[in-house]
Amino acid sequence: MIKKRLDAQIRAENYDFIKAESEQRGIPMNTITDDLLTQAIAIKRGEVIEQQSLPVIREIIQTEVRKGLAQQRQDIREDMQLEFTNEFKAISRASDNRLAALIVRTLRDSSIVRRLAYTILSRSFGADFASKAYEDAKMKAGQELASRSKSKEGLED
């Protein structure tokens, strides 16, 4: 390594420190001064590098944090969607079961009412009249349902 001479005026306390270190450690003042200058230069270069690289490092960190937060939001959305879907399935299943039970009960009750009405009509007015009344009611109910479905189709168009 090539060495060059440096003649510089320095503060007295710095000179006294270097001289004391030299005497205490038994190392020449040139070596101690060279070590101190090397360290100071390294620190200064580090500050420059830090100042130049800090925006790049900041951008990298911000990008990674954004990616992490986006992934976390996506995971939370998926978890919530799964949780809500399971709840909706349970509610829907319970609603379907309730609706099916009501339909079965309605069918059973209407069958009972039909049989009771037929029996009452049959005993009061005879079996022929009860059969004709049943057939007439069945035909009118069918027509009424057909007219309702046609009127609903007209509203949808």
8 Å CB contact between 21 and 27: yes
Taking alpha carbons only, the member of 7, 26, 29, 9 closest to residue 18 is 29
Spatial distance between the Cα atoms of 140 and 145, rounded to a whole number of angstroms: 9
Q: What share of the chain in percent tops pLDDT 70? A: 94
Residue 36, φ and ψ in degrees, nearest 5: -65, -40
Q: Name residues whose C-beta falls within 8 Å of residue 133's C-beta, 6 or more positions apart in sequence.
A: 121
Q: How high is the pLDDT of residue 40?
A: 87
8 Å CB contact between 32 and 21: yes
Structure tokens at 17: 């420190």
Q: How high is the pLDDT of residue 60?
A: 92
Structure tokens at 90: 């349970």
Q: How high is the pLDDT of residue 64?
A: 95
Q: Count CB neighbours of 21 within 10 A.
A: 17
79 pLDDT higher than 70: yes
Query: Domains of the chain: which residue ranges?
Result: 12-99
- Tens of pLDDT, residue by residue over 49-72, are 777 777 888 889 999 999 999 999
Q: How high is the pLDDT of residue 77?
A: 92
Q: How high is the pLDDT of residue 157?
A: 55
Residue 4, φ and ψ in degrees, nearest 5: -125, 155
- Tens of pLDDT, residue by residue over 81-133, are 888 888 888 888 999 999 999 999 999 999 899 899 989 989 999 999 989 99
Q: What share of the chain in percent tops pLDDT 90? A: 41
